[in-house]
Chain A
Amino acid sequence: MPAIPGRPVQGKSERSPQGPPAVAREDDDAARAVRRYYPAYWAVLAVLALVGLQLAVFIVRDKRLGWPIVWHYMFDVRILDGLQTTIEVTAICMVSGSIVGLITALARLSKFKILRGIAFGYVWLFRSVPILVQLLIWFNLAYLLPTLSIGIPFGPHFGNWNTNNVFQPFVAALITLTFSEGARTGEIIRGGLLSVDRGQKDAARALGLSARTTHFRIVIPQAARVIIPPMGTQFITLLQTTSLLSVITLYDLLGTAENIYGLTLQILPLLLVASIWYTVLVAVLSVIQSWLERRLSLGYATPSTTRPATVRNALRASTWL
């Protein structure tokens, strides 16, 4: 550091007369600066450490949490079955909900007024009725329509089914979550599509690219960058929403845990089992999200600040390590 020892900073005193004297001291050199000490920071840290320690001791030592029981049920076949149901429903509805959402978003941005109206109505309806209520309605659809048939409206039918046979709990769950998820992701995707600069579409069209290529090669990839973070949150919400499924007798992770403690009365240990599995699933989703964000940030940051999109870097970014 080329310091200028002993030389006063010219004009400084005139501009800020109330400031310190404009005379440099012999040891004014940023290179020799010592680390600044922040007492409040360390004090808060100390308090937090104490609270954390107390909590850790409680969690490990308290008998009511029953760690041996937690461990025992962690890999119980029934729990794993419930976990599988949770994962299946979440994964299927992530995909189907996103597809419905993309269609909804495109419809809401369509130049055809009627399409826009239908999409708007759909979003309004499926976002306003609570998901629990929607679940119960789909599950109990048989009261409204005892039989379902496919055919031409007001015309001949090709087949009839008993509604109760079609709307098994699993199907009812998939339908509910797909449509409620589609309405929510539709809004997220619409926001992302609107965030893409209009000039991008102009440039693509001026080059003679078709509407389809413009959408799938130019607009959607750029919108994806904006869409991924709120989508991640939405997927996590979806995962947690599956814990409602036991009300329609579909036994997911939580439902299985409830079933077991209903017999054994080991309530807290089994809720802990479910919680631990939920945190593991969310951790996996977070890593995937971080990896996607990295992939999509290509071209938006200089290479030195962006680590390559590897699983290791995604792990590093999605945790505090």
Chain B
Amino acid sequence: MAMTRGETGTQNDTRTGHDSHRSDRPTVLSVRGVHKSFHGRVALAGIDFDINEGEVVVILGRSGSGKSTLARCIQQLEPIDAGSIYLDGELLGYEHSRRGLRPLKPGRAAVQRAKIGTVFQHFNLFPHLTVLENITLAPRRVQNLTKRDANERATSLLERVGLADRAGAYPKQLSGGQQQRVAIARTLAMEPRLLIFDEATSALDPELVGEVLGVIKGLTAEGDTMFVVTHEIQFAREVADRVIFLDGGVIAASGTVSEVIDNPQLDALKRFLARSARAQAPGESAR
């Protein structure tokens, strides 16, 4: 995968470091020159990177650096202003027509979204549906699974996240950590090619963070391809195959854990890591 380097100027060379151990795998996601601004305020100013199959890429950055925007753009929840995003070589959100590139019909865009799954910061479980219904809705509606098959899949996923006994509960009856684990099961039920975690533990009480991180770590062990936006430096250290540091809407640094977290070169990155270390020092993210 020839990766055209953007004009962003990455700190560590993206090729030599991270691609070493999983470069033989096919590319799942390609992000090329993505720009996004909201009412004139620039959120993403030219983002380029790839994620190979089975790779776990962790995005770090201060709040407002564009991490969540990038996650939402990849999930096709926000239209991008320029650039392109490919999933398994397929252009997302747009198609070529005689007059040039044009947005996809809503139905086809929905089919593309189904191949990517996002776990949100605020869980976003459907409060009027039970845990089981939350998980089976999309497989039944989008993948046309029978009720029995969908329930079977949901039950085994609930077992995996340790909530098999709460299938009949409503989200409001669960703790935050339990809700987020249901949200993970709901996302996994669609068997997505790419799994996005958008600050999945940021809204949780400190003592509940551990159970959710434990589930996510279990998924990395199973070889899922993941794009993880997080504030948990220690967690990033444990799961990341590659770390990307976003600053001011561009990739300011990218490389392995040892390159980016352990031996930061960039001043902005050093300051960010120092601040995070201080913020997490007293209790440390419970694990």
Answer yes or no: A110 CB below 8 A from chain B CBs: no
- From B72, B117, B126, residue with most partner A Cβ within 10 Å: B126
CB neighbours (8 Å) of B127 from chain A are 222, 299-300
Answer yes or no: A46 CB below 8 A from chain B CBs: no
Answer yes or no: B277 CB below 8 A from chain A CBs: no
Which stretch of A47-55, A66-74, A197-205, A240-248 is in the interface? A197-205
How long is the Cα–Cα vector from A284 to B170 in the complex, in angstroms? 31
Contact call A202/B172, Cβ cutoff below 8 A: no
Contact call B116/A222, Cβ cutoff below 8 A: no
Contact call A209/B110, Cβ cutoff below 8 A: yes
Contact call A210/B110, Cβ cutoff below 8 A: yes
How long is the Cα–Cα vector from A301 to B171 in the complex, in angstroms? 11
Cross-chain contact of B128 among A213, A222, A301, A302 (Cβ < 8 A): A222
Which stretch of B134-142, B207-215, B223-231 is in the interface? B134-142
| Min distance, Cβ A276 to any Cβ of chain B, angstroms | 39
Answer yes or no: B29 CB below 8 A from chain A CBs: no
Cross-chain contact of B124 among A200, A300, A301 (Cβ < 8 A): A200
Which residues 96-154 in B have Cβ within 8 Å of A in the complex? 106-107, 110-118, 120, 122, 124-130, 137-138, 141-142
| Min distance, Cβ A306 to any Cβ of chain B, angstroms | 11
Contact call A217/B137, Cβ cutoff below 8 A: yes
Closest to A296 in B: B128
- From B128, B173, B190, residue with most partner A Cβ within 10 Å: B128
How long is the Cα–Cα vector from A41 to B49 in the complex, in angstroms? 73
Known contacts A222-B128, A299-B170, A202 near B142 by CB under 8 Å: no
CB neighbours (8 Å) of B126 from chain A are 200, 203-204, 218, 222
Contact call A202/B110, Cβ cutoff below 8 A: no
Contact string against A for B residues 22-48, beta-carbon threshold 8 Å, 1 for contact and 0 otherwise: 000000000000000000000000000
Which residues 185-211 in A have Cβ within 8 Å of B in the complex? 197, 199-200, 202-211
Cross-chain contact of B77 among A206, A209, A217, A296 (Cβ < 8 A): A206
Place the interface of chain B in its size category. 35 or more
Contact call B106/A208, Cβ cutoff below 8 A: no
Contact call B110/A211, Cβ cutoff below 8 A: yes
CB neighbours (8 Å) of B173 from chain A are 302
Contact string against A for B residues 70-84, beta-carbon threshold 8 Å, 1 for contact and 0 otherwise: 001001110000000
Contact call B120/A199, Cβ cutoff below 8 A: yes
Contact call B142/A299, Cβ cutoff below 8 A: no
| Min distance, Cβ B68 to any Cβ of chain A, angstroms | 11
Contact call A203/B120, Cβ cutoff below 8 A: yes
Contact call A210/B129, Cβ cutoff below 8 A: no
Contact call B117/A299, Cβ cutoff below 8 A: no
How long is the Cα–Cα vector from A221 to B126 in the complex, in angstroms? 10
Closest to A301 in B: B172
Contact call B128/A298, Cβ cutoff below 8 A: yes
CB neighbours (8 Å) of A200 from chain B are 124, 126
Contact call B137/A210, Cβ cutoff below 8 A: no
| Min distance, Cβ B138 to any Cβ of chain A, angstroms | 4
Known contacts A298-B128, A299-B170, A299-B172, A208 near B137 by CB under 8 Å: no
Cross-chain contact of B186 among A205, A207, A222 (Cβ < 8 A): A207
Contact call B137/A207, Cβ cutoff below 8 A: yes
Answer yes or no: B69 CB below 8 A from chain A CBs: no
How long is the Cα–Cα vector from A203 to B72 in the complex, in angstroms? 11
How long is the Cα–Cα vector from A221 to B128 in the complex, in angstroms? 8
Contact call B116/A210, Cβ cutoff below 8 A: no
Which residues 272-321 in A have Cβ within 8 Å of B in the complex? 296, 298-302
Answer yes or no: B187 CB below 8 A from chain A CBs: yes
Contact call A298/B113, Cβ cutoff below 8 A: no
CB neighbours (8 Å) of B72 from chain A are 202
Contact call B186/A299, Cβ cutoff below 8 A: no
How long is the Cα–Cα vector from A206 to B125 in the complex, in angstroms? 12
| Min distance, Cβ A193 to any Cβ of chain B, angstroms | 14
Chain A residues within 8 Å of B, Cβ to Cβ? 197, 199-200, 202-211, 213, 217-218, 221-222, 225, 296, 298-302
Q: Can you give 30 contacting A-B residue pairs, CB < 8 Å?
A: A199-B120, A199-B122, A199-B124, A200-B126, A202-B120, A202-B124, A203-B120, A203-B124, A203-B125, A205-B76, A205-B77, A205-B110, A206-B75, A206-B77, A206-B118, A207-B137, A207-B187, A207-B190, A208-B110, A208-B112, A208-B113, A209-B138, A217-B141, A218-B126, A225-B128, A296-B128, A299-B128, A299-B130, A300-B128, A302-B173
